[in-house]
């Protein structure tokens, strides 16, 4: 395999791994927020604050809940 193709494949694999990681983190955070809301009887906002999510992330997750 030529070095240029190997580098391209390496970059694509790294990109795919990064995307999968980001998706797993997002899914885990959503599960945690929902469980906290249910088990602690708190609002989504309170759960996100307890998880110390940034304001930007809070806006993003609020739209997903």
Number of structural domains the chain divides into: 1
Task: With CA atoms as reference, report the closest residue to 50 among 60, 59, 40.
Answer: 40
Q: What is the pLDDT of residue 40?
A: 98
Q: What is the pLDDT of residue 25?
A: 97
What's the predicted TM-score (pTM) here? 0.80
Tell the residue number behind the tokens 């088990």, with chain if given: 39
Domain that holds residue 15: 3-64
Which residues of the chain carry a pLDDT beneath 70?
Answer: 1, 5
Q: What is the pLDDT of residue 1?
A: 67
Measure the CA–CA gap between 62 and 37, rounded to whole angstroms: 13
């Amino acid at each position: 395999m030529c070095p240029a193709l190997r580098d391209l494949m390496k970059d694509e694999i790294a990109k795919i791994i990064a995307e999968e990681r980001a998706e797993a983190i997002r899914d885990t955070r959503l599960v945690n927020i929902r469980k906290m809301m249910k088990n602690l009887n708190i609002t989504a906002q309170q759960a996100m604050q307890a998880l110390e999510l940034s304001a930007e992330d809070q806006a993003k997750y609020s739209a997903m809940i």
